[in-house]
Amino acid sequence: MESVLHEARKFPPPSSFSANAHIKSFDQYDQMYRESIDNPEKFWAEKAADLHWFKKWSRVLEWSLPDAKWFVGGQTNLCYNCVDRQVKDGFGDKTAIVWEGEPIDDGQPEVRRLTYQDLQREVCKFANVLKNLGVKKGDVVTLYMPMVPELAIAMLACARIGAPHSIIFGGFSASAIRDRVADADSKIIITADAGWRRGKHIPLKNTVDEALQNNDTQATKQTVKNVVVLKRCGNDIDMIDDRNHWWHDLMAQVPEACPCEEMDAEDLLFILYTSGTTGKPKGIMHTTGGYMVYTYLTSRYVFALHDDDPDELYWCTADIGWITGHSYIIYGILPNRVPTLMFEGAPNFPGPDRLWDIVSRHKVTKFYTAPTAIRAFMKWGDEHPKKHDLSSLKVLGTVGEPINPEAWVWYNKVIGSEKCPIVDTWWQTETGGHMITPLPGATTTVPGSCTLPFFGIDPAIVDKNGNEQPANTGGFLVIRKPWPSMLRGIYGDRERFIKTYWSEIEGCYFAGDGARIDADGNFWVMGRVDDVINVSGHRLGTAEVESALVSHTQVAEAAVVGVPHEIKGTGIAAFVTLKGTATPTPQLKDELIAHVAKEIGAIAKPDQIRFTDSLPKTRSGKIMRRLLREVATGKEIKGDTTTLEDYSVLAKLRDDA
Ligand code: PRX
């Protein structure tokens, strides 16, 4: 009922904002949108010309479903466009990165500011370090690091020499690292002794060591020859193995200049692993030219970035280990010549006002976070943001999952003082950049809706036969035309690429989300329609958590479903059957939760574990997840259960619930 009420509320762009926006009115958006759809090659050629190319492309697009080539024959380098170009144009002294560490000593956090000049020097040096270690164009470099400037330096160094990076979020476990390193056949890992999180050290190097043990088995085939370790926390760590090197030792031995590799527009820029419907994460591939142009332009328009505003300071609270951090902390922002803020720590350390303290001290102008964080802020209380001066803020963004209208309204009022447009950006690891999003200054927003497609994006809501659905009718969200930052494949798995994205709905990219379009043309994303769950804005495959559970010695079978969760959006409920001799005890529940954290990472910890004698299955052996979801949410079991293999299972589950 409540959300219907909110749906009726529309928020036209504040008139005061239009002057500051790149797209100043709905009519301007509408006209440009039509041009971008009718003549994409012209549109994108004009936008790509904002950036530096060593060699101009001969064709903007070659499209043969599912393969897109953008800026064919063009040569560029994304690191050059992020860093060197600014120095060359006389902005070497301008701040590129503002970094704040987590610890607060004597009331003062550690703050580092890197100018474009500083960044160029450090990136060149680290690029030389990589080269000295034998890294060549095309070699995959794995990064497993805390949120420190050296993470940005390392990724830019990879882009500089044409070595695709594979960044693994620092919360992932040893086995997650092992799988990703093996899949990418990566020979080098860049890590740190540890990172700070809520006042504690996260022992990254130890986790890498653990991942590299047992490197003789086939399943964990390891080829890692070098591990570079940044000293962040000063931890005493084991550096005995001769493949280990200290970052500072290597950096002391290299020259400060390193040319940028001239990359073909379609050369691989990075791989980023994300969860899918099977237990094995997929390495999403993004290439250089299209990704560069698209993330640059979306950053510029969606956050209304102004390099000529000396006060502009953009902050995205994501970790660089996720796509949001790749595209909207580094790659889309730096080519806009706007400083990007990186924060190392947790949002509630040392207190629940830490983020607002950062906003007010640094005078952040554009702020981008996730609905799960907003819901946590709401819960912690208005007094925390209210203690700080947030008047520098101009645009607020959200990403990662549908935002509930209550959280949107709170964000608008308490953080934005009802003067900051909110951009609810729908996109995915696979899409590389924002796909459906308001443009501040042009779009009338509606809490809970990501509103309208970005330029060049042609989304639709269809049924399983590909028929477009009428207004307000749910269906599958698909994209009908190629766009510059679209994924180019799944690393080493062409078949899965075709099956996952290009086979469900003929002729379209299938996003895996359910959505509807309202009578005004606004998109409302309802959530995943596959076996992927979105926990605190992070994607997890139910199969991934299930295989982690089944790898425990006492577990026979497991089924995992997503259940609504007040803060996380979706929580994880696991139904577990035990092996013959095992006894279901509260201790075993705790042990299983810890086991999942160890196998995948803390983000995958189940919120509920329920022991059951067997799992409800159809006669063909398929687990009936809908029933499990109903049990886990405490709902009365409804719907057709006639295909259940064994009716007694249902009764048992209900008793347990
Ligand atoms: O379900 C959608 C949800 O997050 C999924 C993509 O997850 P990932 O690849 O990890 O990327 C997250 C950051 C881009 C989507 O399939 N999602 C993302 N943004 C939104 C969203 N759902 C609703 N509204 C959004 N703004």
Q: Could you give the CA distance from residue 491 to residue 488 in angstroms, rounded to a whole number? A: 9
Residue nearest to atom 10 of ligand 1 (CA): 539
DSSP 601: B
Write out the two tokens for 561: 């479903």
DSSP 319: -
CA atoms within 13 A on the CB side of 327: 34
Q: Which atom of ligand 1 is nearest to the CA of 511?
A: 16
DSSP 516: E
- Tell whether ligand 1 has an atom less than 6 A from the beta carbon of residue 427: yes
Q: Could you give the CA distance from residue 336 to residue 322 in angstroms, rounded to a whole number? A: 21
Measure CA 521 to chain center: 26
Residue nearest to atom 7 of ligand 1 (CA): 428
Q: Could you give the CA distance from residue 520 to residue 316 in angstroms, rounded to a whole number? A: 30
Write out the two tokens for 109: 């956090």
Is residue 8 exposed (0-12), middle (13-18) or buried (19+ Cβ within 10 Å)?
exposed
Total residues belonging to the chain: 657
Q: Which atom of ligand 1 is nearest to the CA of 403?
A: 24
Q: Could you give the CA distance from residue 71 to residue 45 in angstroms, rounded to a whole number? A: 8
- Tell whether ligand 1 has an atom less than 6 A from the beta carbon of residue 323: yes
- Angstrom distances, CA of residue 289 to CA of 55, 86, 529: 11, 18, 31
Residue nearest to atom 2 of ligand 1 (CA): 401
Determine contact, residues 555/579, Cβ cutoff 8 Å: yes
Q: Measured in angstroms, how far is the CA atom of residue 33 from the centroid of ligand 1?
A: 22
DSSP string, 58-119: SEEEEEETTEEEEEET-EE-HHIIIIIHHIIIIITTSEEEEEEEEEEETTEEEEEEEEHHHH
Residue nearest to atom 14 of ligand 1 (CA): 428
Q: Which atom of ligand 1 is nearest to the CA of 527?
A: 1
Q: Measured in angstroms, how far is the CA atom of residue 112 from the centroid of ligand 1?
A: 31
- Tell whether ligand 1 has an atom less than 6 A from the beta carbon of residue 528: yes
Q: What pLDDT score does 646 carry?
A: 54
Strand segments (E) across 549-615: 555-565, 569-578, 608-611
Tell me phi and psi for residue 211, to 5 degrees: -65, -30
- Tell whether ligand 1 has an atom less than 6 A from the beta carbon of residue 402: yes
- Tell whether ligand 1 has an atom less than 6 A from the beta carbon of residue 158: no
Q: What pLDDT score does 642 carry?
A: 54
The fraction of the chain above a pLDDT of 90, given in percent, is 86
Residue nearest to atom 12 of ligand 1 (CA): 400
Segment holding 45, helix H or strand E: helix 40-48
- To the nearest 10 degrees (0 to 180), the angle between helices 586-599 and 174-184 is 30
Complete domains list, the chain, with CATH: 15-38+352-524 (3.40.50.12780), 78-274 (3.40.50.12780), 536-656 (3.30.300.30)
pLDDT tens figures, 586-625? 999 999 999 999 999 999 999 999 999 889 888 878 888 8
Q: Could you give the CA distance from residue 38 to residue 24 in angstroms, rounded to a whole number? A: 21
- To the nearest 10 degrees (0 to 180), the angle between helices 174-184 and 204-212 is 60
All residues at 6 or more sequence positions from 275 whose CB lies less than 8 Å from its CB, including other chains: 281, 282, 532, 539, 540, 541, 544
- Tell whether ligand 1 has an atom less than 6 A from the beta carbon of residue 266: no
Q: What pLDDT score does 276 carry?
A: 87
Q: Which atom of ligand 1 is nearest to the CA of 512?
A: 16
DSSP 25: S
All residues at 6 or more sequence positions from 414 whose CB lies less than 8 Å from its CB, including other chains: 378, 382, 385, 386
Q: What pLDDT score does 19 carry?
A: 80
Q: Measured in angstroms, how far is the CA atom of residue 541 from the centroid of ligand 1?
A: 14
Q: What pLDDT score does 657 carry?
A: 41
Q: Measured in angstroms, how far is the CA atom of residue 131 from the centroid of ligand 1?
A: 36
**C-beta pairs of 642-650 under 8 Å, 24+ apart in sequence:** 643/618, 643/619, 644/616, 644/617, 644/618, 645/616, 645/617, 645/618, 645/619, 645/621, 646/614, 646/616, 646/617, 649/612, 649/613, 649/614, 649/615, 649/616, 649/617, 650/616
Residue nearest to atom 3 of ligand 1 (CA): 401
All residues at 6 or more sequence positions from 224 whose CB lies less than 8 Å from its CB, including other chains: 181, 186, 187, 188, 189, 212, 215, 243
**Which parts of the chain sit beneath pLDDT 50?**
1-6, 216-220, 656-657
Return left, alpha or beta for 497; rule: phi > 0 is left, psi -120 to 50 is alpha, else beta: alpha
Pocket-testing residue among 450, 490, 513, ligand 1, by greatest number of atoms within 8 A of Cβ: 513
H runs (alpha helix) in 213-326: 247-251, 288-302, 323-325
For the whole prediction, is pTM greater than 0.85? yes
* Sign of the torsion angle spanned by Cα atoms 591, 597, 602, 603: negative
